[in-house]
Amino acid sequence: MKKIAVFTSGGDSPGMNACVRAVVRTCMAQNVDVVGIMQGYKGMIEGGDNFMPLSSRSVGNIIQRGGTILKSSRSKAFMTPEGRKIAYDNLSAEGIEGIICIGGNGTFTGAEKFYNEFGIPSIGAPGTIDNDLYGTDLTIGFDTAINTAVEAIDKIRDTADSHGRVFFVEVMGRDTGFIALAATIAGGAESVLLPEVKGDHTKLIEFFRGRQQSKKSFSLVVVAEGNFEGGAIAISSMLNTEIPGFESRVVILGHIQRGGSPSAFDRVLASKLGYGAVNALLAGEKNKMVGLINNKIELTPYIDAITIKKELNPDLLALVDILNN
Ligand code: F6P
């Protein structure tokens, strides 16, 4: 391959820039031209200025920056055959022979479809704060996101302590609880409500009914946004109804978790995976996601990365109950 493209797509995550940098510099080291596509699949369809030749210098001074210099989008047009045909025509006109896509589920679903229709091979790097992709122990951005959540929880803890209050803190993660579970343990929260564990709200009602005996003066409960019984607002109002006189506050951390300078861990992970993705593509691999499993770079077919459910670590789940006493 003489020319490839790189883009970021879906929800941005801290470390995407470090990954773009690694992709570009690995290409430079192998004498391969690289084009950055702005705005993900949207830019691939719109063409024009969205196609930007990149050099080592274009990716200088970005390793520490959150967000993505290539911008991102969730493209509806790319979900249509007509949209993908236009994208293909634009890539062909530029002489692009392969793609590195940095994103999550939706990104890889699109890339697989694109290969099946037009034969453009791609390798994906897992860029999402959710850590919900099978085939990698950790995704780029997850570490930074949980550190952001824990920093916020530490602050909420101060005011919860001062006023002896109960706080429900809602974290992101879409329909998975990886962020919530890690933030609970690192933030020292007493309880967590997760999409993967049904019925935990009943345990919570019992816990707060008996709270007087526990001699705890304040409480922090982490709620995953995709929690089965609802987010933090729903849980807090359910407890208000169930327990007369119950009072609580709700904090929704939201998109704060997506921003900020990537942690050192995410920068290293992103660099390894960007390098690994280019090498895999140049070696003739396609339709696979590069990931880190037990500290080794491994490839997993897109279809597995997208469809196999990554499980929460049961040891961590058990630990929450031991540590909250
Ligand atoms: O996938 C990353 C993520 O931040 C999820 O945790 C969240 O559910 C979703 O994206 C929010 O998407 P948007 O930024 O489009 O509102």
The domain 3-141+262-307 is placed in CATH, from the list 3.40.50.450, 3.40.50.300, 3.40.1790.10, 3.40.630.30, at 3.40.50.450
Task: Tell me the domain boundaries of the chain.
Answer: 3-141+262-307, 142-258
Question: Ligand 1 mean position to 262 CA, how many Å?
Answer: 17
Point out the ligand 1 atom lying closest to the alpha carbon of residue 174.
Answer: 8
Ligand 1 mutation target, pool 42, 130, 144, 175, most atoms within 8 A of CB? 130
Residues in CB range of 69: below 8 A, 6 or more apart? 17, 20, 36, 59, 62
Catalytic residues: 130
Point out the ligand 1 atom lying closest to the alpha carbon of residue 255.
Answer: 4
Question: Ligand 1 mean position to 105 CA, how many Å?
Answer: 12
Question: Ligand 1 mean position to 215 CA, how many Å?
Answer: 38
Task: 76-81: list long-range contacts, CB under 8 Å, 24+ apart.
Answer: 77/41, 77/42, 77/45, 78/41, 78/42, 78/44, 78/45, 78/110, 79/110, 81/117
Question: What is the predicted pLDDT for the residue at 74?
Answer: 95
Point out the ligand 1 atom lying closest to the alpha carbon of residue 179.
Answer: 6
Q: pLDDT per residue over 76-101, tens digit each?
A: 999 999 999 999 999 999 999 999 99
Question: Ligand 1 mean position to 142 CA, how many Å?
Answer: 13
Ligand 1 mutation target, pool 142, 175, 258, 306, most atoms within 8 A of CB? 258
Q: What tokens does 109 get?
A: 């679903």
Point out the ligand 1 atom lying closest to the alpha carbon of residue 258.
Answer: 4
Beta bridge partners, 35, equal 5, 53
- Ligand 1: does its nearest atom lie under 6 Å from the Cβ of 132? no
Contact, 6 vs 34, CB < 8 A?
yes
What's the N-to-C CA distance of the chain in angstroms? 58
Q: Specify the fold of 142-258.
A: Rossmann fold (3.40.50)
Question: What is the predicted pLDDT for the residue at 207?
Answer: 85
Same fold, 3-141+262-307 and 142-258: yes
- Ligand 1: does its nearest atom lie under 6 Å from the Cβ of 130? yes
Strand 249-252: give its sheet, edge to edge: 191-193, 219-224, 166-171, 249-252
Question: What is the predicted pLDDT for the residue at 215?
Answer: 73
Question: Ligand 1 mean position to 90 CA, how many Å?
Answer: 28
CA-nearest residue for atom 10, ligand 1, is: 11
Of 97, 122, 127, 41, the C-alpha closest to 287 is 122
Of 57, 303, 308, the C-alpha closest to 176 is 308
Of 262, 302, 293, 297, the C-alpha closest to 148 is 262
Question: What is the predicted pLDDT for the residue at 212?
Answer: 61
Ligand 1 mutation target, pool 8, 9, 73, 172, most atoms within 8 A of CB? 172
Question: What is the predicted pLDDT for the residue at 213?
Answer: 65
Contact, 307 vs 52, CB < 8 A?
no
The sign of the CA dihedral 280, 286, 292, 297 is: negative
- The model's pTM: 0.97
Q: Residues of the chain whose pLDDT is less than 70? A: 212-214
